[in-house]
Structure 1
Amino acid sequence: MHSIKACGLAAFALLSTCSLSVLADETTPLKAGHEYMVTPNYPNNLHVIDLATDTVLKTCKMPDAFGPGTVQLSPDHKIAYVLNNHYADVYGVELDSCKQVFHASISQQPGEKARSMFAFTVSHDGKELFAVANPTLMLNDRYVVQQPRLDVYATDAGMNAKPVRSFPAPRQLTIMQSGDDGTLYVAGADIYKVDVKTGKFDVLIPSRHWKRPNYSAPDVLYVWNQQTYRRDFSLLYTAAKYKDKKQDPATAEYVYGQFSIDLKSGKTETTDFGPLTEVYFTGMRSPKDPNLMFGVLNRLDKYDVKQKKRLHSATLDHSYYYVSFNKDGSKIYLSGTLNDIAIFDTDSMKKIGNIKLPGGDMALNSSQIFIR
């Protein structure tokens, strides 16, 4: 597969230079022990990026339509599962071959239209896939909103996967991750732990219903499903921290914090990490120093969690939605929005590179980094 970077009008050919970049064939296998990133973008691509060279290795063409492009990897990192087709379908793509090996429609019942709002993931052992369906019955004279459900699929079910189990689910569920003991953790009005055999939802971390003294209710907007080297399931919150029981917003301290679940142990944490000075769409702790927290949207910021202090800010060429790290924590990759990925050095917070993707913008997608 070849991609040619256009160099301008032919009349100016003598004054400009053209570059020809050669991408690997779709069937080129990934190398064991090598570090990669996968990220989707418009019109409907799934890119594999080699982090040794910070270049696009190959591009897999996805079926149907783009959106949102949420990616979850199988535990062996051989299959990328992508929520796509306008939130309506989950596809499994074998990264070595770009071959589609799994497909599940979120709509299951006759006459229903169902969507999953970023709410899917793969089990800890790779044998099952979980997705929350938000169904509506499309009748001749009206639409009828139905009870959301948690659907469980077998990942070896192929191209016409059907749920092997389904359970009623709370409303407003979004991102989720599977713990090492098989527990499913799901973000919604609160953060739940779910028994995937019985469908029982229990509140693990109160969010909307927390009762922290002299705190306002937290505000949470987090729809990016991050799979991290630290094996944690995290999302950001903002809140007002009042000085006393009067709860006067004029004298309150406004803070950023993080809900976090250790997927190995199930241990939870609710931690303020710094002052609320601006909005971040995603944040992540450094894999080499969990006391360092990074957040991104219009700027890239670094925090000392224990001191609850912002250490450094980096200006960006444009907004980025998604932050992720290489395994040794030396580089930060910023993705989402347009069709480029910015690379920053974690120590100096200086930009050290940029990866231009074939195709259009990444929008609300997620980019996962892994070692094969």
Structure 2
Amino acid sequence: MNNKKMWLGASFAALYLASAGAYALNESKPLSKGTEYLAVANYPDNLHIIDVTKDKLVKTCKIPGKFGPGTVVMSPDKNRAYVLGNGFSEVFGFNVDNCEIEFRAKFSQQRNEEARSMFSFTVSADGKEVYVVNNPVLKFSEHYEVKQPRLFVYDANGGTDAKPIRKFPMPRQMYIMQAADDGSIYIAGADIYKVDVHTGKYEVAIPVRNWKRENYGAPDVLYFWPHQQKNRDFSILYTAPKFKDAKQDMETADFKYGFYNVNLATGKTETIDFAPVEEIYFTGYRDPKDSNTMFAVLNRLTKYDIKGEKLLQAQELDHTYYCITFNDKADKMYLVGTLNDISIHDPQSLKKIGSIKLPGGDMAITTAQTFIR
């Protein structure tokens, strides 16, 4: 009886692992030139490529190591999908045509060191370099030693054992970043910094913790999703109290949703309120067709008039979603994160128009990216 129970237990475990999605699909089948795709990761080790024209899964690559966080960044030529994985400790560069890992960088630099990147990596606008801010800790038998965060610059052709070609100290609490057309990078931290990748020098591009907006309290930011947008915007949501007067009475304050924005093509920066805080959102995305319209998502999908700070529409969802992305024509919205289904919506009506069920487990806090091969 005990042997039978053990056999049944092992069988159920095997079935569970199979249902969790530990497999690959069409790894060596090239993508079609001119076709639009969506890249997204999920548990336990999957990088999925979806044909956006058909809303159908076409390829799955296996990500080595432990899952997490599954943040995806596409190379400018759309040949590679870079994924932050193995428990925030490595970046992998997948050839999207054959699933081969062409780039791999481990952040830990010595035997007793552990280093993690909190979503903080990107690829240069010309695709030649990869940038990572990571946070190292030295582990000793009786204590840990927290070291200075650092910016690593890698050659994108550094191979599967890539080593940093330049290193610079960075402030603490750095997280998502994106690369600008002028060769610099913008990194979100206590403030949003513009960084020279050749010298390591940085300056405040947008004050966040240290803003000096009259009659505003300190802003709050929780944003882990570096959307690569067609209009070259790098946007991050914030919430903040707006006071009636200099007394700064929290009891009478209006709480605002807003967004910081850097246009990566021009360097123009913005800090703009767009809505009263009436529910919680994790991500927002300005309409690619109309810069005065903001979409936001968590428990509902919503649409706002930015200048009017007015809710235009809201759509109830089957469950929570964390992340928004658009197709190239901006006539379809894709909601990802949490479970293993992608919800597809019409940006005009916000109504659900489709769904894609992914093999494997939940997508957690992955960032989805659309691209044309």
Interval containing the TM-score (normalised by the shorter chain): over 0.9
Task: Name 2:94's counterpart in structure 1.
Answer: 93
Whole-Å separation in 1 of the counterparts to 2:89 and 2:358:
25
Per-residue deviation, 1:25: 2.0
Task: Name 1:188's counterpart in structure 2.
Answer: 189
Q: How does 1:297-316 map to 2 (within 5 A)?
A: 297-316=298-317
Per-residue deviation, 1:24: 6.4
Q: How does 1:1-372 map to 2 (within 5 A)?
A: 25-372=26-373
Q: Which runs of 5+ in 2 are unaligned?
A: 1-23
Q: Percent identity?
A: 58
Per-residue deviation, 1:193: 0.2
Aligned length: 350
Whole-Å separation in 1 of the counterparts to 2:59 and 2:111:
38
Whole-Å separation in 1 of the counterparts to 2:100 and 2:115:
26
Whole-Å separation in 2 of the counterparts to 1:35 and 1:199:
36
Whole-Å separation in 1 of the counterparts to 2:42 and 2:155:
27
One-letter amino acid matched to 1:210: W
Per-residue deviation, 1:251: 1.2
Q: TM-score, normalised by structure 1?
A: 0.93
Is residue 42–residue 364 contact of structure 2 (8 Å, CA) maintained in 1? yes
Is residue 25–residue 61 contact of structure 2 (8 Å, CA) maintained in 1? no
Structure 1, residues 121-141: CA drift from partner, whole Å, max 9, x if none? 001110100001100000121
Task: Name 1:3's counterpart in structure 2.
Answer: none
Whole-Å separation in 2 of the counterparts to 1:291 and 1:139:
53
Per-residue deviation, 1:262: 0.4
Per-residue deviation, 1:106: 1.1
Structure 1, residues 312-365: CA drift from partner, whole Å, max 9, x if none? 110011100001111121111000000000011011111100000011100011
Whole-Å separation in 2 of the counterparts to 1:181 and 1:358:
40
Which ranges of 4 or more aligned residues in structure 1 deviate by more than 6 Å? Answer: none
- Larger mean CA deviation between 55-64 and 69-78 belongs to 55-64
Task: Name 1:15's counterpart in structure 2.
Answer: none
Q: SS of the residue aligned with 2:291?
A: coil
Per-residue deviation, 1:110: 3.5
Q: Which runs of 5+ in 1 are unaligned?
A: 1-22
- Larger mean CA deviation between 26-35 and 149-158 belongs to 26-35
Whole-Å separation in 2 of the counterparts to 1:294 and 1:158:
39
Per-residue deviation, 1:370: 1.1
Whole-Å separation in 2 of the counterparts to 1:137 and 1:253:
45
Q: TM-score, normalised by structure 2?
A: 0.92
One-letter amino acid matched to 2:120: A
One-letter amino acid matched to 1:202: E
> Once superposed, what is the RMSD of the aligned Cα atoms?
1.0
Whole-Å separation in 2 of the counterparts to 1:109 and 1:153:
17
Per-residue deviation, 1:226: 1.0
Structure 1, residues 192-240: CA drift from partner, whole Å, max 9, x if none? 0000000001111000000000001110111111111111111000001
Structure 1, residues 258-297: CA drift from partner, whole Å, max 9, x if none? 0000000101000101111111111101111111100101
Whole-Å separation in 2 of the counterparts to 1:327 and 1:213:
39
Structure 1, residues 12-55: CA drift from partner, whole Å, max 9, x if none? xxxxxxxxxxx962112112221110000011000000011111
Whole-Å separation in 2 of the counterparts to 1:325 and 1:82:
20
Task: Name 1:7's counterpart in structure 2.
Answer: none
Per-residue deviation, 1:248: 1.0
One-letter amino acid matched to 1:197: H
Q: SS of the residue aligned with 2:251?
A: helix
Task: Name 1:11's counterpart in structure 2.
Answer: none
Is residue 216–residue 241 contact of structure 2 (8 Å, CA) maintained in 1? yes
